[in-house]
Amino acid sequence: MNIEVNGKLISCEKGEILLKVLEREGIKVPTLCAIKDLFPSGACRMCVVEVDGSRNLVPSCAFPVGEGMKIQTHSPKVVKARQAILELLLASHPDDCLFCARNNECTLQELAAEHGVRRRRFVKKELAPHLDNASPSVVRDQNKCILCGRCVRVCEEVMGVGAIDFAQRGSKSMVAPAFNDGLNTSNCVSCGQCIVACPTGAITEQDNLNEVMVALMDPTKYVVVQHAPAVSVTLGEFFGLKPGKDVDGHMVAALRRIGFKKVFDTSFTADLTVMEEGSEFVQRLTQNGVLPMMTSCSPAWINFVEEFYPEHIPNLSTCKSPQQMMGAVIKSYFANKEDISPEKIVSVSVMPCVAKKREASRSEMLGDSKLPDVDIVITTRELARLIKRMGIDFNSLQPEKSDLVLGERSSAGKLFGATGGVMEAALRSGHFLVTGKELNVLVFKEVRGLEGIKEATVKLGEVEVKVAVVSGLGNARKVLDEMKKGYRRYHFMEVMSCPGGCIAGGGQPYFTDPERVKARMASLYEIDKKEKLRLSHHNQYVQQLYSEFLGAPLGEKSHHLLHTHYSAKHDKK
């Protein structure tokens, strides 16, 4: 069928949503509430268009096309309506753009500029302070909320958590946790997907850059940093580079110029995780242990199980995440090797995930001396701000390599950044741990890609192992519920909290779309394809760490240092 848009005939399918048709034709229509692949809500009304013959403007995000329609997307009536919507939103919005974490990355700010809203027509009432910053990961500023509902929908429909919802009615409407309590006492799992979804600064991550700056300026402190596998294929987007561009060398050079004494690659302890987790899986498989074993790399997933599915805590691997393993090794092995007191070391990590901030603060992550494994966690976004704050011309830097005091990483460890990567790395080494033989083909296509639920049956010698790869906590809820009913049975499960894995984490760039995520994933696969060291158990530095310090995987020392335990959230209370 055909419709007419701005005087041009356009072909489309009957019943298609108008906004999708317009986007396909390259016609930009503003929106504040629409979320790709979710049923339209029509909450913000910014996407209104004029339909010939209609008495009113209609929201294009929730309006199906019909034969012969004549649409005006930017008529004077439409533009005036959008300006009025923006003016009303700004009438109850704080005037603190200069201090807002979303300054220059705010959709509301961008649309106000595009529509020429440069003065206030409506009297602004004084706003009472309403800042919820009790969570170690997420900050909520109710005064900046425009009630678009994006955070509510992502939390409920995508992540399956439902920690926030609309409350009260009319002019008192707000988005809040139950009873308007703090996020720290709610069932929030700190995934941070609400931060990425929010078009304003109503939800942001805890900013820990000042703590980093204070540590760097303290001459008595030895400040080191680690960077997660997903960061290097994302950071370049903040500096105008194409999505997926691997800027590992530039990032390391920047971290050194900022003042970090040592720069470590968390992919190294991803290899260490493979050795510990792989050995744990083989032990469970051969000694009638609790199955399926579930990975423990994603802290929001751990929070999710503790909150909603405590009966599955025994299924979780006891391994710490690669971030925490690196922190533990830095304050033990590295401190001994370099003759530095652990009390003087400030261990910073750069992560694509805001839940890592909460993970680092867990009491279970304190070492023997009651020092935290990791002292400060910053996100990819925070690192980009820090580089700019320090006046570093990122794109002109000469690439450098991470420090090898803790060793080189394999490309298997680098794959941890994408959904399916932990499973693929584990299967590569798991085959060797079970059979003593190497694989001829290292790529497991069945566990690659952006599908939310992937399954495969893999032969480890004579044993057939059923595995599952899940990304997005909403999909995890579906799988766990079906397991309870007996519809699904596995030996080994990888779960990543964020859809697509760490490359789409809550600490990554705002406005993350599927194409950007695909580009980041493709970059990780390309890195793996090109490198020679592609197996965690072939990492000589990991072997050296075991021979010099840890002993053996699952040994007394490695278990004490690299493993932990979890408990039901309500038991903790």
pLDDT single digits (tens) 503-540: 999 999 997 789 999 999 999 999 999 999 999 999 99
Domain of 133: which CATH number?
3.30.70.20
- How does pLDDT run across 48-84, given as a tens digit for each residue? 999 986 667 999 999 999 888 899 999 999 999 999 9
531 assigned to active site: no
Residue 80 domain flag: no
Verify whether residue 466 is a known catalytic residue.
no
In this prediction, residue 54 carries a pLDDT of 63
Same domain, 257 and 153: no
The phi and psi torsions of 171 (rounded to 5 degrees) equal -70, -15
Query: Which of 148, 297, 319, 353 does the annotation list as catalytic?
Result: 297
Q: How far apart are CA 176 and CA 370, in angstroms?
A: 35
Q: Is 277 an annotated catalytic residue?
A: yes
Question: What's the average model confidence in pLDDT over 461-489?
Answer: 95
Closest by Cα among 309, 286, 315 to 494? 315
Residue 67 and residue 93 in one domain: no
Q: Where a domain ends, among 190, 205, 220?
A: 205
**460 pLDDT band (50/70/90 cuts)?**
confident
Asked whether residue 173 is domain-assigned, the answer is yes
Expressed as residue numbers, the domain containing 362 is 210-572
**Predicted local confidence at residue 67, as pLDDT:** 86
Number of domains observed in the structure of the chain: 3
User: pLDDT per residue over 108-121, tens digit each?
Assistant: 999 999 999 998 88
DSSP 191-202: --HHHHH-SSSS
CATH number at residue 25: 3.10.20.740
81 located within any domain: no
- The neighbour count for residue 242, using CB atoms within 10 Å, is 10
Q: Which position among 306, 359, 382, 424 bears the catalytic label?
A: 359
Q: Which of 137, 298, 317, 536 is catalytic?
A: 317
pLDDT for position 477: 97
Residue 572: the pLDDT is 52
For residues 434 and 535, membership in a common domain is answered with yes
Cβ–Cβ under 8 Å, residues 326 and 349: yes
- In the set 280, 306, 382, 424, the catalytic residue is 280
473 and 551 in a single domain? The answer is: yes
Is there a catalytic annotation at residue 464?
A: no
Residue 337 is among the residues annotated as catalytic for this protein: no
Q: Kindly state whether residues 190 and 230 are assigned to the same domain.
A: no
| DSSP state letters, 95-135 | S-GGG-TTTTS-HHHHHHHHTT--S--SPPPPPPP-EE--S
Is residue 97 part of the annotated active site? The answer reads no
Give the residue from 187, 205, 223 where a domain finishes. 205
Claim to verify: residue 353 and residue 488 sit in the same structural domain: yes
Distance CA 470, CA 497 (A): 8
Of 182, 205, 228, which residue sits at a domain end?
205
Instruction: Look at residue 522 and tell me if it is in a domain.
Output: yes
* pLDDT, the chain, mean: 93
Q: Which of 245, 262, 331, 356 is catalytic?
A: 356
The per-residue pLDDT for range 547-564, each reduced to its tens digit, is 999 999 999 999 999 999
> Does 435 have pLDDT greater than 90?
no
Q: For residue 525, tell me if it sits in a domain.
A: yes
Residue 484 in domain: yes
CATH number (domain holding residue 378): 3.40.50.1780
Same-domain check for residues 138 and 255: no
Note the pTM of the prediction, 2 decimals: 0.94
The per-residue pLDDT for range 164-216, each reduced to its tens digit, is 999 998 888 999 999 989 999 999 999 999 999 999 999 999 999 999 999 99
| 366 token code pair | 């304190």
384 located within any domain? yes
Active-site annotation holds for 280: yes
Q: Are 480 and 557 members of one domain?
A: yes
The residue whose two tokens read 């678009």 is: 148
* pLDDT reading at 573 higher than 60: no
Examine the residue annotation and report whether 92 is marked as an active-site residue of this protein: no
* Same-domain status, 566 and 493: yes
Task: Tell me, yes or no, whether 313 and 395 share the same domain.
Answer: yes
Say which residue, 298 or 407, is predicted with more confidence.
Answer: 298
User: Which region among 117-126, 231-240, 320-329 has the lowest average model confidence (pLDDT)?
Assistant: 117-126
**Does residue 406 carry a pLDDT above 80?**
no
Q: Say yes or no: 201 and 215 in one domain.
A: no
Residues 522 and 473 in one domain: yes
Helix/strand/coil percent split, the chain, to 5: 45, 15, 40
Average pLDDT over residues 410-438: 92
Q: Where are the alpha helices (DSSP H) in 115-225?
A: 150-153, 193-197, 209-217
Q: Does a structural domain hold residue 189? A: yes
Torsion sign across C-alpha atoms 195, 198, 203, 206:
positive
Which residue of the set 502, 523, 536, 558 is catalytic? 502
Residue 28 pLDDT grade (very low, low, confident, very high; cuts 50, 70, 90): very high
Structure tokens at 127: 């706003």
Q: Of these residues, 50, 205, 237, 277, which one is catalytic?
A: 277
